[in-house]
């Protein structure tokens, strides 16, 4: 086994990723939801470890806001609220952008999304998926969740299966540049989907595959348990 990776954030040394993660979690839990707060340690984590922030010449000012689902909707972060499926959203303030962006304070984790994963999610946003209403219920027996919080679940073919076909319509340049999207530079968009043309071959192919897709409505909990 190789040696565990160590981290130095500001003047603090962390011999294991677990130690750093615990410190980050402790700091996040210190603050109330939906109110601005300043935390220099979290800013140092981002400015030291977040590759996109560093590559785009931005830096965290240390000001953050941790928003629940309702507050995201109230503030107009509709697309982000849908993307996180009701989860919390952390906003950080950046300079010289002089604006807020959703950001992770765990940029060192191995599960950070790749460009192709960002594009995969963005293409899902591009297609015309039906919207649920209050007459609809989760398809799982005994689950009484209903209405607008239900999510579209691909049965046959699954979304993963469709994307395996669709990604053949992407060029390496589009993947490597993420369609030119730079989260900490571009404004006001918060999604790669805004940079993918509506008439792109990948979008057209995905729409075609959806014409005969079998699907069902699932609540957030059951959808996460079965995947796409």
Q: Which residues of 108-123 are buried (b: 16+ CB within 10 A; e: fewer)?
A: beeeeeebeebbbebb
Rounded to an integer, what distance in angstroms lies between the CA atom of residue 158 and that of residue 29? Answer: 37
Rounded to an integer, what distance in angstroms lies between the CA atom of residue 28 and that of residue 8? Answer: 19
Q: What confidence category does residue 1 fall into, taking pLDDT thresholds of 50, 70 and 90? A: very low
Q: Which tens digits make up the pLDDT trace of 145-175? A: 888 778 889 989 989 999 999 999 999 999 9
Rounded to an integer, what distance in angstroms lies between the CA atom of residue 199 and that of residue 27? Answer: 44
pLDDT score of 29: 93
Q: Which tens digits make up the pLDDT trace of 23-73? A: 999 999 999 999 999 999 999 999 999 988 998 899 999 999 999 888 887
pLDDT score of 6: 92
Q: Can you give the residue ranges of every domain in the chain?
A: 7-102, 115-226
Q: Which tens digits make up the pLDDT trace of 172-194? A: 999 988 898 887 776 555 678 88
Q: What confidence category does residue 110 fall into, taking pLDDT thresholds of 50, 70 and 90? A: low
Q: What confidence category does residue 102 fall into, taking pLDDT thresholds of 50, 70 and 90? A: confident
């Amino acid at each position: 086994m190789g040696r565990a990776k160590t981290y130095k954030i500001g003047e603090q040394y962390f011999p294991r990723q677990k130690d750093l993660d615990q410190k980050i979690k402790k700091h996040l839990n210190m603050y109330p939801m939906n109110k601005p707060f300043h935390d220099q340690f979290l800013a140092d984590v981002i400015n030291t470890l977040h590759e996109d922030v560093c590559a785009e010449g931005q830096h965290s000012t240390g000001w953050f806001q941790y928003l629940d689902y309702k507050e995201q909707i109230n503030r107009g972060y509709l697309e982000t609220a849908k993307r996180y499926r009701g989860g919390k959203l952390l906003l950080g303030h950046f300079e010289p952008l002089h604006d807020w962006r959703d950001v992770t304070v765990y940029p060192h984790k191995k599960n950070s999304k790749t460009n192709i994963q960002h594009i995969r999610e963005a293409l899902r946003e591009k297609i015309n998926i039906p919207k649920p209403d209050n007459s609809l219920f989760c398809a799982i027996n005994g689950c009484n969740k209903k209405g607008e919080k239900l999510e579209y679940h691909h049965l046959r073919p699954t979304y993963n299966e469709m994307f395996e076909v669709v990604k053949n319509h992407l060029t390496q340049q589009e993947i490597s540049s993420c369609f030119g999207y730079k989260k900490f530079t571009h404004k006001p968009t918060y999604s790669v989907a805004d940079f993918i043309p509506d008439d792109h071959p990948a979008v057209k192919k995905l729409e075609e595959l959806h014409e005969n897709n079998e699907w069902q409505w699932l609540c957030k909990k059951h959808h996460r348990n079965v995947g796409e």
